[in-house]
Every structure is written in structure tokens, then in C-alpha cells.
Amino acid sequence: MDTGTPPTSRPGAAPGMGNSNQANPEGLGSLVTGIVEDLQGIVRGEVLLAKTELKEDVSVLGKAAGSLVAGGVVAFVGFIFLMLGVTYVLNQWLEMWLAAGIVGIALLLIGGILVMSGKKAMSAASMKPTETIDSLKEDQEWANQQIKSVKK
């Protein structure tokens, strides 16, 4: 069965190079074209990977921001209850301010926990697309090897 490519002298040799020591300009051109097309495909894949990584990171940051906002709102409500407690103290209603103070402190604690968890989640998230960077380094090494093999 004929595949349309001439036989090569070594496994993995570029099509069109054959057994001769002279470079075939047509074969070299198609080899370079193939490498360029491969690089274009790799770059497209890397861009897609980078987009995917950034979307995941933005999603994590969005959830962390939501937690921060929720914590801030709960803490604000806690502050309102503490102010109600101070108001009742000034009016000498000891039982009422104590109840409002307890509720306010509880809400402040809950709000503080939410704010700290949101802050922790935000600091843990990284906007650096590490998988894409590693993959690009591998692609660069591959391209350098391909260029070296063409020069031989």
C-alpha cells in the first residue's frame, strides 16, 4: 500500500528528506509548513487553556467576593443591634439592652467569620494560569527540537 510519502532512512525522519544527503527544497518547504501549522494549532490550544483557567479563577474570586459582601452585611446588622443595645442602656432598660447586645455580638461574630473565610478564599486564589505557562514551556522545548532537527 502506497502512502504517498517516500521511504525514509531512519524512524521519525521528516517526509521528503529521503536517503540523500542533499536537502530537497520542496520537502523542506512542506516540513517547515507542517511545523508552522502544528505551532498554530498548539498556540490555539494554549489560548483556549488559558481562557479556561482564568474563568475558573474568576469564578472562585466571585464566590469569595460574595462571602465578603455577606459578611459585611451581617456585621452591619450586628452593629445596628449593638447600637440598639446602647440606646436601651441609656434608657435604663437593662433587660432589653442585654438581649440586643447578645444578639449584636452573635451577629458580629458570624459576620467576622464570613469576612475571614472570604478573605482566605481570595488570598488562596491565583490569577496566574500556571498550567498554561507550563504547557507553553513544553511547547517551546518541542519547537526548539523541531527546528534543530530541520537544521540537521
pLDDT class for 12, splitting at 50, 70, 90?
A: very low
117 within a domain of the structure (yes/no): yes
Q: How many domains in the chain? A: 1
148 within a domain of the structure (yes/no): no
pLDDT class for 144, splitting at 50, 70, 90?
A: confident
Q: Is the pLDDT of residue 99 over 50?
A: yes
Mean pLDDT rounded to a whole number for the chain:
75
pLDDT class for 113, splitting at 50, 70, 90?
A: very high
Q: What is the pLDDT of residues 29-65, one digit of tens each?
A: 788 788 888 888 888 888 888 888 878 778 888 888 8
33 within a domain of the structure (yes/no): no
Q: Is the pLDDT of residue 8 over 80?
A: no
Q: Is the pTM of this model over 0.95?
A: no
105 within a domain of the structure (yes/no): yes
Tell me the C-alpha to C-alpha distance, in Å, between residue 65 and each of 53, 76, 123, 125: 18, 16, 11, 12
> CA-CA distance, 112 to 74, in Å (whole number)?
9
Q: Is the pLDDT of residue 10 over 50?
A: no
Mean local confidence (pLDDT), 84-92 = 68
> CA-CA distance, 50 to 131, in Å (whole number)?
8
**Residue 7 exposure: Cα atoms within 13 Å on the Cβ side:** 3
Mean local confidence (pLDDT), 17-25 = 50
66 within a domain of the structure (yes/no): yes
93: left (phi over 0), alpha (psi -120 to 50) or beta: beta
Q: What is the pLDDT of residue 35?
A: 82
Q: Which of 88, 91, 112 is nearest to 100 (CA)?
A: 88
For residue 78, what are the domain limits?
43-134
18 within a domain of the structure (yes/no): no
